[in-house]
Structure 1
Amino acid sequence: MSLGEIATIGTGSSNTNEALKEGKYPFFVRSPEVRRKNEYEFDETAIIIAGDGDVGKVFHYVEGKYALHQRAYRIRIDNVNVIPKFFFYYMKSAFLSYIRKTMFQGSVLSIRRPMLNAFEIPIPSIEVQNKIVGILDRFDALCNDLCIGLPAEINARQKQYEYYRDQLLAFKKND
């Protein structure tokens, strides 16, 4: 199905200069950096992408209240046969190549809503989507969550170091 058939697509109304150092809600702009704001515009589950600039390279998955820049897109999945997190992962893997074929190129790279509406998505069964999301969530946590992946890697390297250290320093006594 096309994205336009399964989702509501819109933009925010906030300007970048409205960002605060510390704010109550996440404020998504057109970059990987998430800023903060004390007011929110939306309370939903959505996928956020840049409308210009780093098009096809910036993706955010949000659940709850947030603010959105006026040149960033929010994609809210409305079809009960599509798990939003599945779509998020699919978009991260396939959207950049799609957009490179259809993007407007001027002084700034940008996309338009008709281009988003036409983006085609495979829709496997809910069971398959859940399985894919489960696997990718675990992999993402191991790779990106400093509380899980990095400590586990450090622990494994520490054990490896201790093993080889003990082996190298294990001298047999001469009787």
Structure 2
Amino acid sequence: MSRIDDLMAQHCPNGVEFKTLGELLRIKNGKDHKPLGDGDIPVYGSGGIMRYVDTAAAEGPSVLIPRKGSLGNIFYVEGPFWVIDTIFRTEIDLSQVEPKFVYHQLLTMKLGEMNQAGGVPSQTQTVLNLLRIPVPPLEVQREIVRVLDQFTQLEAELEAELEAELEARRRQYEHYRGGLLAFDLEEVEAVELSEAFETRNGYTPPKSDPTNWSNGVVPWFRMEDIRENGRVLDHALQRIPEKAVKGGRLFPAGSLIFATSATIGEHALITVPFMSNQRFTAVWPKSEYADRFDKKFLYYYGFVIDEWCRNNTSTSSFASVDMSGFKRLRIPIPPIETQERIVSQLDRFDALVNDLSIGLPAELAARRKQYEYYRDKLLTFEEAAA
């Protein structure tokens, strides 16, 4: 930091000049990549590298700025590359500015929030050309880039280390969970799933009737709910009206849903009355067995059932679980005190691994925030008087 301070004091003690992007670089549109053959030259869209081709549109260094889609995804590239029409490339005036300095400056400008359209997020050359950035002397820019590159490398190394540790914790947790749930079914009471549980398939109300999809009050679960909100759910991303519920009967709160077709090997515990789509089979204890199971124990045992489903799938036309075998699965019924002890142990381990406010995920988020703070501080300049 002192090296940068010394350079600033030497070259621009009274602040630095600010210029528009239009004064520093030329913005170029991307082109269609479909006619190109395969090769080793990366093709960029607003989401990143899409494929590799045999022809280059330009040679780096360049900064790529999204035109449509993920507007905050800024890329710095060196060497040959191709861009499609969802992202701009730039030709930078190297006599005025370092390309990587421009890249770091743009990262601080929240371009993802500068949507210029009402539908798909979009950006225009006109708006980009008018953006102003500080332009300190090249020697200062190069030193800032050097420091930020070091920060970036250290942050990436730490992130990789923390993510590896987190993955190791997850594997440890899965091993521990598997051990706790590995019952000898000859030594503990067990029943076939169909004897102790009700099973019902979900369904999708006809979309030809718009009233099935308006004024919804009943949670209607899909795989997207698990992906976005986890495996213990009390609300759905989509709701349907009561009139769309077949027979007027909801699946009861405390049911498990298992993905038994399409994306197989996922499950969730639903804590409210609900419906689901046809990809799920809902499972809940029959009345005579309701007090024999802890609901959270069944949720954790669901991971054992998930594994069975993955290993007993027909893929002849459409992936689906062997439902006859599913209903014959033997489910252990250990004493309720044993179930509660297992739940308590797994709840603690689950929180340590998955809660973003605990342990390694929180450390990772804190380091990212720290890096962004120092980056923004390095790239903030006082503007010289005109």
TM, length-normalised to structure 2? 0.35
* Match of residue 27 from structure 1: 43
C-alpha distance in structure 1 between counterparts of 2:87 and 2:50, whole Å: 12
Which residues of structure 2 form unaligned runs of 5+?
A: 1-18, 165-386
Deviation at 1:14, TM superposition (A): 2.1
> Is residue 3 from structure 1 mapped to residue 18 from structure 2 by the alignment?
no
Percent of matched pairs sharing the same residue: 27
Kindly indicate whether the alpha-carbon contact (under 8 Å) linking 2:42 and 2:49 is maintained by their aligned counterparts in 1: no
* Match of residue 63 from structure 2: 47
Deviation at 1:153, TM superposition (A): 10
> Is residue 78 from structure 1 mapped to residue 100 from structure 2 by the alignment?
no
* Match of residue 115 from structure 1: 127
* Match of residue 105 from structure 1: 117
> Is residue 66 from structure 1 mapped to residue 78 from structure 2 by the alignment?
no
Kindly indicate whether the alpha-carbon contact (under 8 Å) linking 1:19 and 1:35 is maintained by their aligned counterparts in 2: no
Deviation at 1:105, TM superposition (A): 2.5
Q: Which structure: larger Rg?
A: 2
> Is residue 36 from structure 1 mapped to residue 52 from structure 2 by the alignment?
yes
Query: Tell me, what secondary structure is at the counterpart of 1:75?
Result: strand
Kindly indicate whether the alpha-carbon contact (under 8 Å) linking 1:46 and 1:63 is maintained by their aligned counterparts in 2: yes
Which residues of structure 1 form unaligned runs of 5+?
A: 155-175
**How many residue pairs align between the two structures?**
147
Query: Tell me, what secondary structure is at the counterpart of 2:48?
Result: coil
C-alpha distance in structure 1 between counterparts of 2:42 and 2:81, whole Å: 5
Kindly indicate whether the alpha-carbon contact (under 8 Å) linking 2:44 and 2:84 is maintained by their aligned counterparts in 1: yes
TM, length-normalised to structure 1? 0.73
- CA-based RMSD: 2.7
> Is residue 91 from structure 1 mapped to residue 103 from structure 2 by the alignment?
no
Deviation at 1:47, TM superposition (A): 0.4
* Match of residue 160 from structure 1: none
Greater relative contact order: 1 or 2 (C-alpha under 8 angstroms, separation 6 or more)?
1
C-alpha distance in structure 2 between counterparts of 1:31 and 1:153, whole Å: 22
